[in-house]
Structure 1
Amino acid sequence: MISSLQNLLAGRVDVCVVGSGPVGLALGIALARSGLSVALLESGGKAISEKTNRLAAAASISTSHHAEASLTIRRAVGGTSKAWGGRCVEFDDSDFDGRPARGDARWPIEHSALRAYYDDARTFLGAELPDVGKPGVEMPDMDGDFEPSIESWAREPDMAKAHGALIESLPNLHLVTQATVIGLDLDREGARTKRLMVWHRGKLHSLGATIFVLACGGRENARLLLAAQEIAPRLFGGVDGPLGRYYMGHLAGELARIRFTDRSFMEKMFFRRNGTGAWFRSRLIPSIALQNERDLLNSVFWLRSPPLEEVYAAPGARATLNLFKALTGRRKMRRMSFKARVSDTASLSDMVANPVQSFNAALQLTTSALKSERQPNFFVKNGEHLYWLAYHGEQRPVASNRVRLSSEVDETGLKRLAVSFDFDEEDLASLIRCHHALAEWIGKRRIGTFEWLHPEDGLQTAVRRQALDGYHQIGLTRMGASPRSSVVDGNCRCHDLANLYVAGSSVFPVSGQANPTLPAVALALRLADHLKGELRG
Structure 2
Amino acid sequence: MTLLHATDIDPGATIEADLCIIGAGAAGISIACALADSGLSIAMLAGGGEQFRHRDQMLYHGRNIGRESFAPGKARFRMFGGSTTRWAGQCRPLDPVDFEPRPGLPDTGWPIGAETLAPWYRAAAEVCDLDDWRFDPPTLTGLETHEDAAPVRYRHGHNVDFAVSYGPKLAQSNTTKVYLDTHVTGIVQAGSRISHVEATGPDGRRIRFAAGNYILATGGLENARLLLASTAGSPNGLGNERDLVGRYFMDHPFFFGGALELAPGVGPEAVDALQGYEQAGVAQRSHGAFALGEGLRRDEGLNGAAVFFVERAAHKSSEDFLSTGGVAMTRVLDVLMHRELPDGRLGRHLPALLTHPGEVGRSTLERLRGAVSKRRTLAARFTLEALPNPESRVRLDPRRHDRFGMPHVTVDWRLTRGDPGGLERLRGGLARLFADGGIGELSLHGARDADGFPVSMEGGKHHMGTTRMSTDPARGVVDPDCRVHEIDNLFIAGSSVFPTGGYVNPTLTIVALALRLADHLRGRTGAAASKAGQA
Report matched runs for 1:385-464 at 5 Å: 387-407=378-398, 408-454=400-446, 463-464=453-454
Q: Residues 217 and 9 of structure 1: is their aligned pair in 2 closer, same or farther, counting only changes over 3 Å?
A: same
Q: Distance in 2 between matches of 1:470 and 1:388?
A: 17
Report matched runs for 1:223-262 at 5 Å: 223-229=225-231, 231-233=233-235, 238=240, 240-260=242-262
The equivalent residue for 1:218 is: 220
Q: TM-score, normalised by structure 1?
A: 0.79
Q: Distance in 1 between matches of 2:292 and 2:460?
A: 25
Q: Residue type matched to 1:404 in 2?
A: R
Q: Residue type matched to 2:206 in 1?
A: L
Q: Distance in 1 between matches of 2:481 and 2:366?
A: 46
The equivalent residue for 1:139 is: 139
Q: Is residue 341 of structure 1 aligned with residue 367 of structure 2?
A: yes
Partner SS for 1:390: strand
Q: Is residue 97 of structure 1 aligned with residue 100 of structure 2?
A: yes
The equivalent residue for 1:478 is: 468
Q: Distance in 1 between matches of 2:449 and 2:434?
A: 19
Q: Distance in 1 between matches of 2:455 and 2:189?
A: 45
Partner SS for 1:297: coil
Report matched runs for 1:326-337 at 5 Å: none
Which of 18, 24, 28 aligns to 1:24? It is: 28
Q: Which piece of structure 1 moves more, 143-152 or 523-532? A: 143-152
Structure with greater proportional helix content: 1
Q: Is the 8 A contact 1:126 1:278 kept in 2?
A: no
Partner SS for 2:117: helix
Q: Distance in 2 between matches of 1:285 and 1:344?
A: 30
Q: Distance in 1 between matches of 2:510 and 2:239?
A: 25
Q: Is the 8 A contact 1:43 1:180 kept in 2?
A: yes
C-alpha distance after superposition, 1:100-159 (max 9, x if no partner): 4541242110112112112221222222327677xxx95335543133321111223322
Q: Distance in 1 between matches of 2:493 and 2:418?
A: 29
Partner SS for 1:186: strand
Q: Is residue 489 of structure 1 aligned with residue 473 of structure 2?
A: no
Report matched runs for 1:94-133 at 5 Å: 94-129=97-132
Please tell me the root mean square deviation across aligned C-alpha atoms, in Å: 3.2
Q: Residue type matched to 2:386 in 1?
A: Q
Q: TM-score, normalised by structure 2?
A: 0.79
The equivalent residue for 2:286 is: 280
Q: Distance in 2 between matches of 1:235 and 1:64?
A: 26
Q: 1:400, CA displacement in angstroms? A: 1.1
Q: Residue type matched to 1:72 in 2?
A: A
Q: 1:275, CA displacement in angstroms? A: 8.5
Q: Residues 459 and 405 of structure 1: is their aligned pair in 2 closer, same or farther, counting only changes over 3 Å?
A: closer
Q: Residue type matched to 2:140 in 1?
A: P
The equivalent residue for 1:53 is: 57
**Identical columns (%):** 27
C-alpha distance after superposition, 1:208-267 (max 9, x if no partner): 111100001111101111123574147767565221101100111122322345766542
Q: Is the 8 A contact 2:239 2:484 kept in 1?
A: no
Q: Which piece of structure 1 moves more, 527-536 or 278-287? A: 278-287
Q: Is the 8 A contact 1:432 1:460 kept in 2?
A: no
Q: Residue type matched to 1:181 in 2?
A: V
Q: Is the 8 A contact 1:307 1:340 kept in 2?
A: no
C-alpha distance after superposition, 1:47-73 (max 9, x if no partner): 111111111212x42135132111112
Which of 264, 268, 273 aligns to 2:273? It is: 268
Partner SS for 1:164: helix
Q: Which piece of structure 1 moves more, 174-183 or 287-296? A: 287-296
Q: Is the 8 A contact 1:394 1:511 kept in 2?
A: yes
Q: Is the 8 A contact 1:236 1:483 kept in 2?
A: no
Partner SS for 1:524: helix
